[in-house]
Amino acid sequence: MLQEESDLSLIIAQIVQKLKGSNLYAQLERQAWGSWEKRILKSLNSMCTELSIPLARKRPVGEQKELLNKWNEMGTDEPDLSLFRPVYAPKDFLEVLINLRNPNYENGDSLSFRTHLGLIQVPLKVKDIPELKEFFVELGLTTGQLGIDDSTQVPPELFENEHVRIGQKVLAEQDSAAAQQYIRQGSPTALRAELWALILNISSQPEDILYYEQLKTNVIQHDLLVDSLIYKDVKLTASNDDYYFVFEDYLYQVLLCFSRDTSVLGHFAYNSASPPKSYIRGKLGLEEYAVFYPPNGVIPFHGFSMYVAPLCFLYHEPSKLYQIFREMYVRFFFRLHSISSHPSGIVSLCLLFETLLQTYLPQLFYHLREIGAQPLRISFKWMVRAFSGYLATDQLLLLWDRILGYNSLEILAVLAAAVFAFRAVNLMEVTSLAAAEAVLADLSTLKVMPLLQIFLFATVT
Amino acid sequence: MSRPKNQNYKGHGLSKGKEREQRASIRFKTTLVNTLMDVLRHRPGWVEVKDEGEWDFYWCDVSWLRENFDHTYMDEHVRISHFRNHYELTRKNYMVKNLKRFRKQLEREAGKLEAAKCDFFPKTFEMPCEYHLFVEEFRKNPGITWIMKPVARSQGKGIFLFRRLKDIMDWRKGTAGKKLTSLEAPPARSTVNPSGSHDARSSDDQKDEIPVENYVAQRYIENPYLIGGRKFDLRVYVLVMSYIPLRAWLYRDGFARFSNTRFTLSSIDDQYVHLTNVAVQKTSPDYHPKKGCKWMLQRFRQYLASKHGPEAVETLFSDMDNIFVKSLQSVQKVIISDKHCFELYGYDILIDQTLKPWLLEVNASPSLTASSQEDYELKTCLLEDTLHVVDMEARLTGREKRVGGFDLMWNDGPVSREEGAPDLSGMGNFVTNTHLGCVNDRNNQLRQLFRSLQNQKKASS
């Protein structure tokens, strides 16, 4: 009887804790995001004032015609973008995350082995390796994988042929849930575009194409300040990339339309952020005259266009490419640059990364910390961009297969830790942050799936 | 040349009259100062000779060849990097003549279907001697676009596109019949490729010309395959070790060179348009020279596979194999097959929207200067492997089907991919031993190859 009682009170205590916790977290999120948001808007507004450019204006007819003619080759345009700066870069965002504190959490002055030595000081729950092994069970050593078991030394009869056959069957039956399960083992190159569309529930209906055309008209008719930021970002990142430069024009076609798509606002319902607002000229503070700016509520940061670039590999029809990107954004990518306590949110990913490193590679973690090279400072940019632009394209697509398959971004943190584990020997010898960055500068030769497998399933813990 | 008595497999031609002596050091000479120099200098046991010293290996340029080949005595072991009359393959008018003749021969011997395999060269007519034939063809296909190119290309000058006979009537009046004076002498010795690198041409190519300007009129491929709205061509490397018998190796790596401008036919409407507008990359303030505007062939192959499926890609690449082999066969009887000679050709291939490959031209001196770090690595490895195949060190047995990134493509007959299988093309499941655009794990392969060669030597000594 006593046992039951104490069990019960334990359960109740846990529930109370949970409720308390969630309230606190909500508060935390709102506070943190609130001040960050203010900073971004301030930056945008000051750019606006400095350059005397309105946040939005209607294009004169001549300009509209010109843009329409050039729609498929906007990359050939070279507007003067020297005065524009990206509103923020991932490292600015990292600083915000580092300073997140839960005001009710008492860390205590005494250090114990539980003390977190990383940069993130918010005690969110993250998975440990046993839990990750369970979660990612299909990546185990005894299950066939694309990215490993399709290499040239392995005869295709062992795994690849059968896997392709199953993939074709899944597509034939248009079974979205089965596709999601299937893709955990990777997608064959020829089937990937269709599989992703199936999982994301994208089918090109006439109304979707029409919707895209409407957005395009919107772009033609109005010029937004944000457009210049998009231009600048594409020119700075994707255009300079060895592989994605080819798709420059598609990136404009997608991102310019994206910024005007108000349906994206819908994702703020489950995002703890709120879209930035702006006011019609002269009506500052009057809620009736508030509009979301940009219309989709998303202010692009430095590197944003890299979310779209890998998709150009798979989709060539602009409206389909657009839909796929939009869906990927509202399901996954937005979590990488907004503050939340969601397990796939960037804060949790950072904490997961640091915890994995501290727990399973303590010597490396400690060493890097000592030389002033906190690991998160290096891996943050990889995770924010979901590794786009850092991995070779075929490896990146194999990684994103698993994001879709597991409906989670946690794999990004695991991969980041696995990369550190892989280069641990070299990293132990460096004596500065710059040297550590150099060891980890080039990820283009990495094979993603073997790294993940070894880290999760083949490392002695 | 001795053949092993117990198998039908023909070695790839290393002279085995007596055991090839291993030389203490190999004296090389070259005038080029780029990746080639780096590779030669780093090769163990190779020493540079300058000026009038005696050499064992000379990577010469074609002008030296013309002036000196005929009065240079070379010992049996000596190697030189060009065939005496390579221009039979590399100058457009000769190539066309040879190909046409070969095609007729094939039609006689093997029928129309087999002859049609030679239709990979856009219809070309030599001017002015084939002018009437050209007019006949022109009249049969009204409205298509033609391109006029001087045979010894000089930096885009004199190249133009046209659609009306009237356009070339004017041209004919203007330049044909005029003697080639210093006025029209090609100013530069090189032609510019879309990526900005230069292939060497020399005045030697014009030496055998009639003083009247020699041009060719060629059907312009109006429906090139576009990626990201851009036109591109492929650069592929083929190493020919001898013509009689024909022994050719295909390198796995290569690249696609993109033009910076978006492809459109509208700019050639009824005007003379110098190709430099399309072929030469726009220099823009954002252009980073180290970026290169190139895709490695592996990336290109993956891109196509994800768009069209693996079978279509297989077909395309085997059509390209066909181009390499047929083009070499067409000049087999004309080129002086000196055992001292080998040649590394750069093939330029254009793909059209139906995924048919076209041969644009063959370069005897493909550019060896690197436009980026990636390009540097490709060319260094290409040259290292070329030297491995040339085998001045006498390490190979002559029965290898693969050396580093080179696969033996043709050995007096097709070469099959399977290990040890006799090379019979009559077999139903014959797969050619080419891996263009496939994984190039040359380091591993070379290590294994040389280790096993060493072991064989130890065993037999």
Of A190, A240, A312, the CB nearest to B305: A190
Whole-angstrom distance, CA of residue B438 vs CA of residue B297 = 8
pLDDT digits (tens, 9 = 90+) for A100-138: 776 666 555 555 555 567 888 887 888 888 899 999 989
* Inter-chain touch B229–A73, beta carbons under 8 Å: yes
Distance CA B347, CA B359 (A): 8
Residue A375, preceding bond cis, omega within 30 degrees?
no
Nearest residue in chain A measured CA to CA from B281: A76
Which of A152, A248, A250 is facing B439, going by the closest CB pair?
A152
User: Which residues of chain A are within 8 Å of residue B307 when distances are taken between CB atoms?
Assistant: 316
Q: Shortest Cα distance from B291 to chain A (angstroms)?
A: 6
* CB within 8 Å: B302 and A243: no
pLDDT on residue A352 = 95
What pLDDT, on the 0 to 100 scale, is given for residue A429? Answer: 92
Q: Which among B262, B299, B307 is the nearest to A73, CB-wise?
A: B262
Q: Find the closest chain A residue to B435 by CA distance.
A: A152
Q: Do B262 and A76 touch (CB under 8 A)?
A: yes
Which pTM value belongs to this model?
Answer: 0.78
The answer to whether the CB atoms of A246 and B227 lie below 8 A apart is: yes
The residue written with tokens 């255009």 in the block is: A239
Output the tens digit of pLDDT for each of chain A's 461 residues: 445 555 555 655 555 555 444 455 556 566 666 777 777 777 777 777 777 777 777 888 888 888 888 888 787 776 777 777 777 888 888 888 888 776 666 555 555 555 567 888 887 888 888 899 999 989 988 888 888 887 777 777 788 889 999 999 999 999 999 999 999 999 999 899 999 999 999 988 898 899 999 999 988 888 888 888 888 888 888 888 888 888 988 999 999 999 888 888 877 767 666 666 665 555 555 555 566 677 788 888 888 999 999 999 999 888 999 999 999 999 999 999 888 888 899 999 999 999 999 999 999 999 999 999 999 999 999 999 999 999 999 999 999 999 999 999 999 999 999 999 999 999 999 999 999 999 999 999 999 999 999 999 987 65
> What value, to the nearest 5°, has the Cα angle with vertex A412 and ends A407 and A414?
110
Strand partners, B363: B346
Contact A247 B228 (CB under 8 A): yes
Quick one: residue B368, left, alpha or beta (phi over 0 = left, psi -120 to 50 = alpha)? Answer: alpha
Determine, for residues B439 and A246 on separate chains, whether the beta-carbon distance falls below 8 Å: no
Q: Residue B212 has what DSSP assignment?
A: B
Angle between helices A375-384 and A410-422 (to 10 degrees): 130
SS3 A350: helix
Q: Starting at the edge strand that comes first in sequence, how are the strands of the sheet with B46-48 ordered?
A: B46-48, B26-30, B57-59, B79-80
CA A112 – CA A91 distance, rounded (Å): 29
- Asked if A387 and A412 touch (Cβ cutoff 8 Å), the reply is yes
Q: Closest approach of chain B CAs to the CA of A445, in angstroms?
A: 12
- Cα distance from N-terminal residue to C-terminal residue, chain B: 22
CB contact under 8 A, B285 and A152: no
**From the CA of B303, how many Å to the nearest CA of chain A?**
6
The secondary structure of A377-426, three-state, reads: HHHHHHHHCCCCCCCCHHHHHHHHHHHHHHCCCHHHHHHHHHHHHHCHHH
User: Which of B225, B260, B306 to mutate: most A Cβ within 10 Å?
Assistant: B306
**Minimum Cα–Cα distance from A188: chain B residue:** B306
Q: Which H helix or E strand runs over A25?
A: helix A2-51
Which residue of A151, A165, A189, A445 to mutate against B (max B Cβ within 10 Å)? A189
Ordered alpha helix ranges (H), A52-121: 61-69, 90-98
Query: Which residue of chain B is at minimal alpha-carbon distance from A317?
Result: B228
A90's tokens: 């991932």
CA distance A376 to A365: 10
Question: CB-CB: which of B286, B305, B307 is closest to A239?
Answer: B286
The shortest C-alpha distance from B254 to chain A (Å) reads 15
Q: What distance in Å separates residue B20's CA from the closest CA in chain A?
A: 34
Q: Could you identify the residue written with the tokens 């499941």?
A: B429
**What does the pLDDT profile of chain B (461 residues) look like in tens digits?**
222 233 334 444 443 333 455 677 888 888 777 889 899 989 999 998 887 788 899 998 888 888 888 888 888 889 999 999 999 999 888 888 899 999 999 999 999 988 999 999 998 888 878 888 888 988 888 888 888 887 765 444 567 788 888 777 766 666 544 433 333 334 333 334 444 344 544 444 444 433 356 788 888 888 899 888 888 889 999 999 999 999 999 999 999 988 766 766 665 543 333 333 323 343 333 344 434 478 999 999 989 988 898 899 999 999 999 999 999 999 999 999 999 999 999 999 999 999 999 998 899 988 888 877 888 999 999 999 999 999 999 899 989 999 999 999 999 999 988 765 554 444 455 678 899 998 888 999 999 999 999 888 888 77
| Interface probe, candidates B195, B283, B287, B303, chain A, greatest A C-beta count within 10 A | B303
CA distance B126 to chain A (A): 36
A72, A78, A239: residue with CB nearest B262: A72
Instruction: Tell me what pLDDT residue B294 has.
Output: 86
User: Which residues in chain A are closer than 8 Å to B290, comparing Cβ atoms?
Assistant: none
User: From the list B228, B282, B374, which residue is nearest A242 (CB)?
Assistant: B374
Please classify residue A256 by burial: count the beta carbons closer than 10 Å to its beta carbon, then call 0-12 exposed, 13-18 middle and 19+ buried. Answer: buried
Packed helices A362-370 and A375-384: angle between N→C axes, nearest 10 degrees: 100
Pairing label, strands B79-80, B402-403: unpaired
- B393, B43 Cβ separation under 8 angstroms: no
- Report the C-alpha gap between B461 and B80 in whole angstroms: 31
Write out the DSSP string of B94-153.
Answer: HHHHHHHHHHHHHHHHH-HHHHHTTTTS--EEEETTTHHHHHHHHHHSTT--EEEEESS-
ipTM above 0.85, yes or no: no
Contacts of residue A249 in chain B, CB cutoff 8 Å? 228-229, 262
Contact A58, A221 (CB under 8 A): yes
Distance (Å) from the alpha carbon of B233 to chain A's nearest alpha carbon: 14
Q: Where are the alpha helices (DSSP H) in B195-340?
A: 204-207, 276-279, 297-308, 310-331
B262 with A249: Cβ contact below 8 A = yes
User: How much is the pLDDT for A146?
Assistant: 87
Give the distance from residue A334's alpha carbon to the nearest chain B alpha carbon, in angstroms: 26
Q: Which residue of A has its CA nearest to B261?
A: A76
